[in-house]
Amino acid sequence: MRTDLDTLVTALYVKIDDALKATPELCRWRPKVGIPPRLSDAELLTLAVMQALLGFTSEARWLRHARTALGHLRLLCVVKPRGVPRRRAGRSAQAA
């Protein structure tokens, strides 16, 4: 099962990354200087989609599960609860 989940996460990340590169207007504007984000937009979206696909409604439970089930992937090496506010900020920007 772990291999299937790894394959799904990898394929989803590649698809989202390609889509964001094809349509750069979907990405948030970032200044050239300053501290870069710890997660790329594609990584953040991949985590959000995986959370929805696996049926986690609690972000804290999802992050605990993701660290144990997917922690070996580079995508989750930097995931900390601080990534949640950025995701929420992106959610409110989409609603507007």
Domain ranges across the chain: 2-95
pTM over 0.85: no
Q: For position 90, what pLDDT does the model report? A: 59
pLDDT tens-digit series, residues 9-49: 889 999 999 998 898 887 778 778 888 777 788 888 888 89
21-44 burial, b at 16+ Cβ within 10 Å, e below that, comes to: eeeeeeeeeeeeeeeeeebbbbbb
pLDDT tens-digit series, residues 53-69: 989 988 888 888 888 87
pLDDT band (50, 70, 90) for residue 73? confident
- The pair of three-digit structure tokens given for residue 7, joined into one six-digit string: 């394959």
- The pair of three-digit structure tokens given for residue 47, joined into one six-digit string: 């985590």
d(CA 7, CA 1): 10
